[in-house]
Structure 1
Amino acid sequence: MTVLVRPAHGDELGEVGDITVAAYEVDGYLVPDDPYVPRLRDAAARAREAEVYVATLEDLPGRIAGTVTFCPDGSPWREIARPGEGEFRMLGVAPGARRRGVADALVGTCLERSRELGYTAVVLSSLPEQRAAQRIYARLGFRRTPDLDWSPMPGVDLLAFRLDL
């Protein structure tokens, strides 16, 4: 199965936000009236201040199968990256496109982009419950980096992962 990854087009950003929210909802990572939903849904802001990528599947042309936000140096969307490191956030795969290599392809694009920019590493944060995503990260070479763990708000603890390039 061929997964194609490219920058999101402006007219797709509403759908990108919807897919991101749906991916978090289907796994039970959001509670009713979760204050994080508007941030997940606002792909337009992410596209202005970071790089938003979408994945499509060859057998489903024109349909977005997943998305990720890559945060280069200077992006206000960066949370734990230091200068010279890439960071990605809000990786989401549409529920109907899972287990088809979409997440791997999106992470691969972030790694490629980091190498293009000459970064020394890529970092990310993950909820402890996001074990399926963490298995993908481990398979791709990311390692837990507890010294970068953090909490954006009370009751939300995030685990950090890093891949040296």
Structure 2
Amino acid sequence: MDTTDITVRAAAPAELDAAGALVADTYLADGLLDLGPDDPYLADLRDARTRAAHAEVLVATEPTGEETPRGPHGLLGCVTFVGAGGPFAEVAGPGEAEFRMLAVTRAARGRGVGEALVRACLLRARRAGARRVVISSQSRMHTAHRLYGRLGFVRAPERDWEPLPGLRLHAFALELAHKRGE
């Protein structure tokens, strides 16, 4: 998929509230919160400022970054890249990285925004010297699972876990091949 019309970069401080709102609103609209608008996880999804203090919040925008009808501040999507050991690492261990809270606005879907965000995370993981990227995903996130499979992630059921009783997250892993100079 051609993603040349998408720019992925670190969120600017002025964009963090909009990035958090994008993630929270997308999860809510897609029915990914078991308790709907009363789900306590919604506050975590909105809080991109705290994530940015401990991890890297990435945003996808139009190449110009101008305001578009697609999302606040021209944001098309957002993801949080996490190295091992930080407070936002859920499944990454030594030598691993992960990403979390991947969301793409409905208006921007089908353009390769999610793929561009994941590829940016993989590049950061390689540059950080990670040997593997591991992620968690709800079983009902079928579109995300197809994307992960296309990019080479495989299920890692031995790393499945439950952040809350009854909410089983599926783990996926991708072994990274390092290129010279990276």
* TM-score using structure 2 length: 0.87
Stretch deviating more after TM superposition (26-35 or 90-99): 26-35
Cα deviation digits, residues 36-66 of structure 1 (max 9, x gap): 1000000000000101000012387340100
Find 1:19's aligned residue among 9, 17, 22: 22
Which residue does 1:127 correspond to in 2?
Answer: 138
Gaps of 5+ in 1: none
Whether 2:116 is the aligned partner of 1:105: answer: yes
The alignment partner of 1:81 has SS state of coil
Which residue does 1:94 correspond to in 2?
Answer: 105
Whether 2:63 is the aligned partner of 1:52: answer: no
Deviation at 1:75, TM superposition (A): 1.5
Q: Is the 8 A contact 2:28 2:37 kept in 1?
A: no
The alignment partner of 2:38 has SS state of coil
Q: Is the 8 A contact 2:85 2:92 kept in 1?
A: no
Larger Rg: 2
Q: Is the 8 A contact 1:22 1:95 kept in 2?
A: no
* TM-score using structure 1 length: 0.96
Which residue does 2:12 correspond to in 1?
Answer: 9
| Amino acid of the structure 2 residue aligned with 1:25 | L
Which residue does 2:179 correspond to in 1?
Answer: none
Deviation at 1:32, TM superposition (A): 3.2
Structure 2: distance between partners of 1:57 and 1:146? 36
Find 2:167's aligned residue among 150, 153, 156: 156
Deviation at 1:26, TM superposition (A): 2.0
Structure 2: distance between partners of 1:53 and 1:162? 20
Structure 1: distance between partners of 2:161 and 2:84? 20
Which residue does 1:82 correspond to in 2?
Answer: 93
- The alignment yields a C-alpha RMSD, in angstroms, of 1.2
